[in-house]
Structure 1
């Protein structure tokens, strides 16, 4: 079939994609040139490929990752509008979160204060405490912190409040907590467990809810005041303290949610971070 060949340089100008990006998209199979010279490897494109190139550039500008762009383009080829809509909604939610983060940063910058002092004020001084063993109901799965923690909390409270299970006689004995089973921060695929301390009769039946006893621990603890996405400040503070004291982490960290985000403003949220440690005798 005869077609108009567009050299890579001209195609780069038409799509506003660099030649380096075009070669990368070629290797990834995302935008493969219609023809390549057998001897020189010189790439040529066709006019119908211009639209695909522009879509790739636009989707990248919107914040989609390369694998997401490939999925979106494939969904368009297959006519899967539902998948496209779902991915656009997810991207929108992520953008809203980023907008809130940037707005918070702008507030801090406009205050023209010592930001290091401001951050330290949001975290209490570290303390060492004995945390007794506790019986909990819990759920555990892989996911992202932003989505999965809230999802599991909702599922656990739905289980507690389930009126269709009269054999449950559950009393909450402590705040809901997030237990981190990973040894590093994970953008996706994090090993997340959410637990609620309870007493009384618990009948799990067919629910994917666990009943377990968390071990007693010695922990370095601090209280963080402010939005959940800023709680990393407390972790940094505690790990620096542990390093100064020659302590090492001795188990999964715990984050206890001390008040309800439905009841207080974001800036007044309270979280207690507990890092299990081995103390020198």
Structure 2
């Protein structure tokens, strides 16, 4: 496994924040991509999931997460709603450093590399300063061919 420290440039994202089961992720991602298209914007980066807590720590109905995507274009509002009333928010993400690796396999198993990233940060005197981000790099027919970049923001 290749783990690297890299700089993520400043970028803007649209995202939907949720509390509840991860089962809602595919629906929310679809709704977000549709919302971006309806606004006449172009998805710039692969879609992502940001996970604020863990199913090992809380019940499924207490999971906090968001799904989002970078985009190109301008909007005059920071918050609006999709057709189902979900809040779509906009944010500019500042340039920052992350510890990163790419996992190959079903999306639901990407957390298997978290321990390796934790160890890397400890061995390199880095401090994790935010939630884990999973960037979904492709959407193959065969789940074993899925590629997920896992990032921990660090200082």
Larger radius of gyration: 1
Q: In structure 2, what is the equivalent of residue 251 of structure 1?
A: 130
**1:169/1:202 contact within 8 Å kept:** no
Q: Does 1:237 align with 2:101?
A: no
**Which segments of 5 or more consecutive residues in structure 2 lack a partner in the other structure?**
none
Aligned partners of 1:214, 1:176: CA distance in 2, in Å?
15
Deviation at 1:128? Answer: 0.3
Cα drift, residue 169 of structure 1: 2.1
- SS of the equivalent of 1:125 reads coil
Task: Please say if 1:276 is aligned against 2:153.
Answer: yes
Structure 1 residues 244, 160: closer, same or farther in 2, change over 3 A?
A: same
Question: What SS does the aligned partner of 2:41 have?
Answer: strand
3-state SS in 2 of match to 1:161? helix
- The answer for the alignment partner of 2:11 in structure 1 is 134
Equivalent residue of 2:65, what SS? strand
Q: CA 1:269 to 1:140, structure 2 compared with 1: closer, same or farther past 3 Å? A: same
- Over the aligned positions, Cα root-mean-square deviation in angstroms equals 2.0
How many residue pairs are counted as aligned between the two chains? Answer: 147
Report deviation, 1:133.
1.6
Post-superposition offset of 1:241:
1.4
Runs of 4+ in 1 over 6 A off after TM superposition: none
In the alignment, what sits opposite 2:53? Answer: 182
**Residues 18 and 65, structure 2, Cα contact 8 Å, conserved in 1:** yes
Change in 2 beyond 3 A, CA 1:238/1:185: farther
Cα distance in 2 for partners of 1:230, 1:129 equals: 23
Contact 2:138 2:147 in 1 (8 A): yes
d(CA) in 2 for partners of 1:186, 1:148: 17
Q: How far apart are the structure 1 equivalents of 2:48 and 2:81?
A: 23
Q: Structure 2-normalised TM-score?
A: 0.85
Q: Which residue of 1 aligns with 2:104?
A: 225
Distance, in Å, in 2 between the alignment partners of 1:231 and 1:154 is 20
- Asked if 1:195 is matched to 2:71, the reply is no
Query: What is the rounded CA distance, in whole Å, between the counterparts of 2:58 and 2:2 in structure 1?
Result: 27
CA drift of 1:156 comes to 0.3
